[in-house]
Amino acid sequence: YRENNAEKLVPLYLPLFKVYYFLLFMLTGPKDPIFWLVQFLDEVLDNSEVLM
């Protein structure tokens, strides 16, 4: 039962890691806000499709 709960929580944590790395890359990567905004929205849409 605990294992099933853990498996359900994993997809919720993955987007948090993606956001964390996205912020890191935004601070250290190319200074192009539009590019990063598009990338971020693309990630969010992918995650929402997976969760649905």
Query: Burial of 44 by CB count in 10 Å (0-12 exposed, 13-18 middle, 19+ buried)?
Result: middle
- Amino acid 4: pLDDT: 66
Pick 26 or 52 by higher pLDDT. Answer: 26
pTM, 2 dp: 0.33
- Amino acid 22: pLDDT: 78
- Amino acid 45: pLDDT: 78
* Separation of alpha carbons 1 and 24, rounded Å: 36
pLDDT digits (tens, 9 = 90+) for 4-50: 666 676 777 778 888 887 777 767 766 677 777 788 888 877 766 65
- Amino acid 16: pLDDT: 82
